[in-house]
Chains A and B, each alone.
Chain A
């Protein structure tokens, strides 16, 4: 219910008077006065359907009982929920619902958390029904979701959720009357987004998770409220455990930024943490092989070699790399360890793979390192622009906010995405677009230029801005006028009219949010494209207006935290420039120790330095550059040359396999700390189980190193680190229910418009190089799958059941052109190598492109060139031209 300026109405419920915003349903108003009206079909996320009739109440001056879930509160209304008539009505509806119910509570996984069970208990309802019960044939539903339709109360919550919230429409009621049965639309078994929403929203045991089938009773489980370890959306989850076993994950309506919604990764992916391949003991390389060792031995080994190398080669002979999956506390301690204990700024994190592009662009133009908007602003936006987000798969919950804005609040959605608006088993955001342009990832920049050109030529430039910064406006206008509509049309495949229309929608919006995702952020030239997007918002007056802003989406759960903790070479905690003397002094005062001043090397630079033998020791925490970067970067050879490679890891990854010491790290399920989501919201991570085997949280390992190296950074627990972070970055992580976004810094914008833009405007306002496509080739792109996150999810049994391997997804037209059918084995090759995989034909893949899920692509990486952004040093290797040939 959108009620920013809502009027209120006053009504009386069971004698209690309450004022609620106009439009509030009686059932909700009752909840506010503490009256819980029993219900099955009602759910605050869904439009009322009033089918179960459980929520009947008496309303004065209405002859019949009314369903409180569909009756809107009106001024002066008098509602009674506690009368005999109402009680008897509830009891009678329960009797009806129980009539055909199998009551197999003893073997029902819902037992103990079942609305039907609870209400029956409350009303001591039984059913006099003694006739033959309706029986549905048991059907195999899907590998992860179990149905027992005899228990269904036909409330249609699952069907409505899957349609209204998810926009997937995988479920439908089939049959009539008592034979109404919920089935999956189309293909059987169920093929859908596997968000688990239907499992969570079913009030009874009709839809349950197979991952934990017959394993527990709710009261046996311990609960921990924590944050999902996969993507940057940062969903709050409740992890349920039995002893040390992870049993189930769900999320509570109203809690966290996701408010009860999850994606497949969050709902079904949790067992990645309990995979049998988890490292449980420290390993030391002896005579060429990694062998088990004690912590004492491992730490001594690290300390001894570190000291030796530092003595002979100095601190610059070291580098460090950390994963954006670590907690803020670990990221903070890591950079402190590298800077103080080791004494170098050679350090980087996985934010370097793309997220930093967005952050640096925001810093350059608007002077913030975070979004100036929140998820709520997305929901309330009237115009949303999505560029290269692949939002459903990469950031599913942010995607739900977009869907909510469009489906519930009728926002205008504009999309520039490498996707075709085809309907499929998972939702497709471009189906909700008012205007969609399908553009190859390499040409996102060209599309943004097209928009800019339409804004300038269509006279959509904010009039105050013209006066305030005439030079900037005319420089941009001139630069954009150099571009020719025809060239733009060739690059993007989009006509000028489309850009003109889009620009008009954009300029006409009151609350405009532009979201940029990893498909853009990880592509070549993304930093420049982000700057241009900010120009677009600035020129149309949408950068500083209330409810407007730029929102680059983080891929890993704590990429944003990695930047904010200073776990990147050129930035200190609080995202202060290392080169800024005041900033350095501030940190020095907090740490009571001098900082190294020498510029640090970034990810790719460190690999180069290792290659040339300048870096001799590398500390890697949870990162796997050997598995993630193309071999052309020489990453494997470089790391093999090191005198000391220390890895803290969950699994023996390609990188860890090269290490001299591997230390078993605890997963996010096993430690405390905080994560910062893509909006910049800091949330508490809490352990659900004890660390597996001998593993330890990464911060403890780093702290132990420092002790063994004689420069102790000691903390009793993660909270103590957070306390220190708060001293360094005042107010960090207030842990409130929703983030308070920073405002655009006017001084920074002035600086940008007076000076900043000049540096690279000319380069940014030129068209990116076009892909030349030859016969028999496709443009191969690494994509993010909904069912995976990095490589971590490939250890999750649940997710592997949905997507066990990386298939080459291509458009039917291309498949036909190349003579390929679904399931064919194909060899992809180009000048750099070859790779064999299996074809999947998918309507939504744009013609000429082919998708390969990043998560299974290690062996395909050799096909890709790696280009490093000159400003942000982001390595980009997302697309390659390959020929596709069917193998025997």
Chain B
């Protein structure tokens, strides 16, 4: 809305909400194309029909999922809500690219925490994914096979958040640059053990303290990879330490 008004693309403080004070201060409804695309069918065939599809009570209807990553047939798949990830990945998307086992997947876009193979039978509906500790978000499912470097994967996403942070609020602006730099260092084998603690602290300090949901989202990759694949971080750091590549001792800074 800010951009439409010719201003910088920054989040607005809510309240007031767009529904009462939106574009040019007029009531505004903001909707996804996907939502709007559903409307003709709902109007045509009635809400009962729509509600009969999917996984009631809340997650009814169909949803388009964009499957990408290490699958045979990446693409957009419209499925009824409530099918499992296993079905989506192995039936619709044709299974893993090189038939390696699946290592991890992101269920709902860059801001959704990573899930593990043990979550494959989770149903694709809002409640089930939330119960598994992630979210369905944008419906972008990214699949990673065995052998994927999870620290690198988290960094890759962090780079995105760092680039996209609008810079309006301090935790997100400063936090994303800090996180990305620390992650880069760890991946480049210049990390230290205490970095892991710092990463967790920083993530916690960003979460829930920003103007918009972007801040919360930006910590998901790091938090979830640290949760499920902490040893990968540790290994990278241990390699750094044993190779004695770097002993970070910033002059004059006491931690």
Contacts and interface: CB of A to CB of B under 8 A. Distances in A.
Interface of A: 48-54, 56, 64-65, 70, 89, 92-93, 95-97, 99-100, 126, 128-132, 134, 153-154, 172-173, 175-180
Contact of A178 (B13, B167, B201, B254): B167
24 contacts: A50-B211, A51-B168, A51-B211, A53-B169, A53-B170, A53-B211, A65-B209, A92-B171, A92-B205, A93-B205, A96-B174, A126-B254, A129-B178, A130-B250, A131-B177, A131-B181, A154-B173, A173-B8, A175-B167, A176-B164, A177-B167, A178-B176, A179-B167, A180-B173
Given A92-B205, A128-B198, A176 B166 contact: yes
B193 to A, nearest CB: 13
B247 interface: no
Nearest to A89: B209
Contacts of A89: 205, 209
A52 B172 CA distance: 10
Contacts of A56: 209
A131 B167 contact: no
Given A50-B169, A131-B185, A177-B166, 17 more contacts: A50-B13, A53-B169, A53-B209, A64-B209, A70-B13, A96-B170, A96-B173, A97-B170, A99-B174, A131-B181, A176-B164, A176-B165, A177-B162, A177-B164, A177-B167, A178-B165, A178-B173
A126 B177 CA distance: 17
Interface string B7-39: 010000100000000000000000000000000
A500 B113 CA distance: 65
A49 B13 CA distance: 7
Interface in B135-190: 162-171, 173-178, 181-182, 185
B255 interface: yes
A131 B178 contact: yes
Contact of B167 (A92, A93, A176): A176
Contacts of A128: 198, 255
A130 B248 contact: yes
Of residues B165, B170, B176, B201, which shows the largest number of chain A Cβ atoms within 10 Å of its Cβ? Answer: B170
A837 B209 CA distance: 59
B174 A97 contact: yes
B59 interface: no
A178 B8 CA distance: 15
B84 interface: no
Nearest to A92: B205
Contacts of B170: 51-54, 93, 96-97, 153-154
Given A51-B211, A70-B13, A131-B182, A178 B174 contact: yes
- 9 closest Cβ pairs, A-B complex: A131-B181, A92-B205, A180-B167, A96-B174, A177-B165, A178-B177, A177-B167, A99-B174, A64-B208
Contacts of B169: 50-53
Of residues B185, B201, B205, which shows the largest number of chain A Cβ atoms within 10 Å of its Cβ? Answer: B205
B163 A177 contact: yes
A96 B202 CA distance: 9
Of residues B8, B174, B198, B210, which shows the largest number of chain A Cβ atoms within 10 Å of its Cβ? Answer: B174
A177 B173 contact: yes
B132 to A, nearest CB: 21
Nearest to B9: A176
Contacts of B167: 154, 173, 175-180
B181 A132 contact: yes
Contacts of B164: 176-177
B177 A130 contact: no
Of residues A96, A132, A153, A172, which shows the largest number of chain B Cβ atoms within 10 Å of its Cβ? Answer: A96
Of residues B171, B201, B253, which shows the largest number of chain A Cβ atoms within 10 Å of its Cβ? Answer: B171
Contacts of B253: 130
Contacts of B182: 131
A516 to B, nearest CB: 34
B215 to A, nearest CB: 9
A612 to B, nearest CB: 67
Contacts of A65: 208-209
Of residues B13, B166, B182, B185, which shows the largest number of chain A Cβ atoms within 10 Å of its Cβ? Answer: B13
A54 B13 CA distance: 15
Contacts of A175: 167
Contact of B171 (A93, A100, A126, A172): A93
Contacts of A131: 177-178, 181-182, 185
A132 B255 CA distance: 16
A100 B174 contact: yes
Contacts of A70: 13
Contacts of A178: 165, 167, 173-174, 176-177
A134 B174 CA distance: 10
A48 B13 contact: yes
A99 B168 contact: no
B181 A177 contact: no
A12 B198 CA distance: 35
Contacts of B178: 96, 99, 129, 131
A534 B218 CA distance: 63
B28 to A, nearest CB: 19
A189 B177 CA distance: 30
Interface in B205-222: 205, 208-211
Contacts of A93: 170-171, 205, 209
Interface in B234-255: 248, 250, 253-255
A178 B168 CA distance: 9
Contacts of A134: 177
Contacts of A50: 13, 169, 211
A178 to B, nearest CB: 4
Interface string B46-81: 000000000000000000000000000000000000
Contacts of B174: 96-97, 99-100, 178
Nearest to A88: B205
B107 to A, nearest CB: 23
Contacts of A173: 8, 167
Nearest to B198: A128
A95 B177 contact: no
A50 B12 CA distance: 9
Contacts of B211: 50-51, 53
Nearest to B181: A131
A92 B175 CA distance: 10
A180 B169 CA distance: 11
Of residues A49, A132, A175, which shows the largest number of chain B Cβ atoms within 10 Å of its Cβ? Answer: A49
Of residues A51, A70, A89, which shows the largest number of chain B Cβ atoms within 10 Å of its Cβ? Answer: A51
Given A70-B13, A92-B205, A53 B181 contact: no
A75 B255 CA distance: 44
Contacts of B13: 48-50, 70
B142 to A, nearest CB: 23
A126 B8 CA distance: 32
Nearest to B168: A51
A93 B209 CA distance: 9
Contacts of B8: 172-173
A70 B169 CA distance: 14
A51 B173 CA distance: 10
A134 B211 CA distance: 22
A746 to B, nearest CB: 44
A66 to B, nearest CB: 10
Of residues A64, A70, A99, A177, which shows the largest number of chain B Cβ atoms within 10 Å of its Cβ? Answer: A177
Contacts of A177: 162-167, 173, 176-177
A64 B177 CA distance: 24
A70 B211 CA distance: 11
B250 A99 contact: no
A538 to B, nearest CB: 38
Nearest to A175: B167
B217 to A, nearest CB: 15
Of residues B181, B198, B210, which shows the largest number of chain A Cβ atoms within 10 Å of its Cβ? Answer: B181
Of residues A53, A126, A131, which shows the largest number of chain B Cβ atoms within 10 Å of its Cβ? Answer: A53
Contacts of B175: 96
Of residues A50, A134, A179, which shows the largest number of chain B Cβ atoms within 10 Å of its Cβ? Answer: A50
A100 B201 CA distance: 17
